Amino acid sequence: MNPAHFLRNRAPALLVLVAGGVLPLAFAPVGWWFIAWIAPAVLLYCLHEVSARRAFWLGWLFGLGQFGVGVSWLYESLTLFGGAVAPLAALITAGFVAVVALYPALAAWLARIIAGEKLRSIAGVWAFAGSWVLVEWLRGWVFSGFPWLDLGIAQTSGPLRGLLPIVGEYGVSLVVVLLAGLLLGVATWRPRSPRGLRPWISLAGVLAVLGLGGGLSSVRWTPPMGAPLSVGVAQANIPQMQKFDPAFLAMTLQRYEQLTLRMGAVDLVVWPETAVPDVITDLPRLTAALNDRAAQTGQSFLIGAFTQDAAGRYYNTLVGIPETVGSHRKAHLVPFSEYMPLRPLVMLLSGLIDVPMSDLTPGREDQPLPVVRGIPVGASICYEADFARDIRRSLPEAGILVNVSNDSWFGDSFAPHQNLQMAAVRALEFGRPMIRATNTGVSALISAEGRIEQSLGVDQQGILVGKVQPYQGSTPFLRLGSTPSLLLAALLLGLARWRRVRTGRELPSR
């Protein structure tokens, strides 16, 4: 075997695998946002002058690195908290990563099909950016959606954050990939390459986008509304292994009640998702005590608990106390956790995986909003805050956002920090502050500009007390949604195809 030939064929595969594995460092908790520009540029570099088949393979390897590192918390969830034996947890995690890695593979393949083999050209960058964003959007819908590690999410602390209220997560992803192409044009420019991107054009484009994003970061798209609310968040830090054990129920409720007393006379008290790990109507002493406190102090409560309707269906609910506050039933359930698709297949694994309360009913998408002190509340539970489309349903009526979550499933991994970052993106996209309450961290008070003003870290017990200013009005993203960004991505694919037809040459398939 010729060693040079071997390395020439294996080096790009190793390079894209490493680039994908490094990409999660762009996201919380590390937050090196610029890596989200560099990693796709590495993939695009390796896609140049390869066949469509090899483009798919390289994209899949990139995805293996991206999700193998970025969602490695799935193994911990399955072993420590799902009760799965280690080999089965490893197999499920590997299988999941292999499947979601197909999305970058699809993006790479589509870019190659549309633009031809010259993917470092202008048309190649257009095709790569358009393909990437349309595939990200697709991943956000298939099988309920999995929006983890979308490139736009990583920009909460970077110079592009000012674009999120205008074009949203997918629009910023599109800008990131285009910037990756421009940076690649600078890095690979050769004077005798007539089809390459000129370095000064690329640099001018990068600087223009950075300047625009930085300038827009100071724009406030939504104005304040009324007086601030004083709020208190309880993080009891109940371990997942104890949370659903009936022997610990009394201790759990007592801890939340003690934390609530420490908050003082706040307007709104928020307990996290399933803080009450039972059907709340089966606990009359608790509900009576909370109603009495609400009557005496004028406080309102939003309590994470299970509820049951007259037909016997169970819901994951954010329960308002007193009853006039209203409630929110989780509408976007997590597959294989809160409901079981492919139930006959999953039942074959019964006894190997234990997921409590995994047969829930989704709430309606058009639920009335809870109201606290006359302020409509855009409520969401866990997974729902990861999707702009779920939060958007409550707006522009909602003055504040409240998200409750049970991130104890993930331990002290990337996942609690990734969830918090996605919640911050929602606050920034819609110009509303968010109160986020979790069982074991990270709980936070997030400003309407997406800034974390107060937080409680993983495995901490305590309270957050602060003032939250309601807002009104609409950001451009709230009015238009993701449609303009998706149409622009499709337009870039069309332009790339048109340019290929005019000037492209084909590399024989191999």
- The predicted-structure confidence for 36-62, as pLDDT tens digits, reads as follows 999 999 999 999 989 999 999 999 999
CA distance 17 to 63: 8
Pick the range with the lowest mean pLDDT from 83-92, 94-103, 242-251, 452-461.
83-92
Q: Give the structural domain span for 273.
A: 229-474
CA distance 484 to 468: 32
Pick the range with the lowest mean pLDDT from 144-153, 197-206, 218-227, 453-462.
197-206
Please name the residues in contact with 146: beta carbons below 8 A apart, sequence gap of 6 or more: 100, 139, 140
Q: Which one, of 464, 463, 461, 465, lies nearest residue 236 by Cα?
A: 461
Q: Indicate yes or no: pTM above 0.85.
A: yes
Query: What integer pLDDT is reported at residue 1 of this predicted model?
Result: 47
The answer to whether residues 179 and 328 belong to one domain is: no
Q: Verify whether residue 49 is a known catalytic residue.
A: no
Antiparallel, parallel or unpaired: β 452-456 and 462-468? unpaired
The β-bridge partners of 339 are: 335
243: part of which helix (H) or strand (E)? helix 240-243
Alpha carbon distances (Å) from 218 to 175, 212, 481:
19, 11, 21
Query: What integer pLDDT is reported at residue 102 of this predicted model?
Result: 98
Candidate list 117, 330, 429, 449, residue with the active-site label: 330
CA distance 236 to 238: 6
Antiparallel, parallel or unpaired: β 229-235 and 462-468? antiparallel
The answer to whether residues 250 and 107 belong to one domain is: no
Query: What integer pLDDT is reported at residue 84 of this predicted model?
Result: 66
DSSP for residue 264: -
Assess whether pLDDT exceeds 90 at residue 189: no
The answer to whether 506 and 116 have CB atoms below 8 angstroms apart is yes
Query: What integer pLDDT is reported at residue 409 of this predicted model?
Result: 80
Q: Verify whether residue 330 is a known catalytic residue.
A: yes
Query: Is 32 part of any domain?
Result: yes
| Number of folded domains that form the chain | 2
Query: Is 192 part of any domain?
Result: yes
- The predicted-structure confidence for 281-318, as pLDDT tens digits, reads as follows 999 999 999 999 999 999 999 999 999 999 999 999 99
Q: Verify whether residue 273 is a known catalytic residue.
A: yes
Assess whether pLDDT exceeds 90 at residue 82: no
Query: Is 5 part of any domain?
Result: no
Q: What is the 3-state secondary structure (H, E, C) of 356-383?
A: CCCCCCCCCCCCCCCEECCEEEEEEEHH
The answer to whether residues 75 and 204 belong to one domain is: yes
Assess whether pLDDT exceeds 70 at residue 353: no
Amino acid 330 reads: K
Stronger pLDDT, 144 or 423, i.e. the higher one? 423
DSSP for residue 450: S
Cβ density class 324-342: b for 16+ within 10 Å, e for less? ebbbbbbbbbbebbbebee
Query: Is 256 part of any domain?
Result: yes
pLDDT above 70 covers what percent of the chain? Answer: 88
Task: Tell me: cis bond preceding 165? Omega within 30 of 0 counts.
Answer: no
The answer to whether residues 375 and 462 belong to one domain is: yes
Query: What integer pLDDT is reported at residue 8 of this predicted model?
Result: 61
The answer to whether residues 340 and 424 belong to one domain is: yes
The answer to whether residues 265 and 152 belong to one domain is: no
Q: Specify the residue for token string 């008290």.
A: 269
Candidate list 382, 384, 429, 449, residue with the active-site label: 382
- The predicted-structure confidence for 253-289, as pLDDT tens digits, reads as follows 999 999 999 999 999 999 999 999 999 999 999 999 9
19: part of which helix (H) or strand (E)? helix 3-22
Query: Is 409 part of any domain?
Result: yes
The answer to whether 392 and 475 have CB atoms below 8 angstroms apart is no
Stronger pLDDT, 157 or 173, i.e. the higher one? 173
The answer to whether residues 411 and 292 belong to one domain is: yes
Candidate list 76, 117, 273, 384, residue with the active-site label: 273
Query: What integer pLDDT is reported at residue 76 of this predicted model?
Result: 80
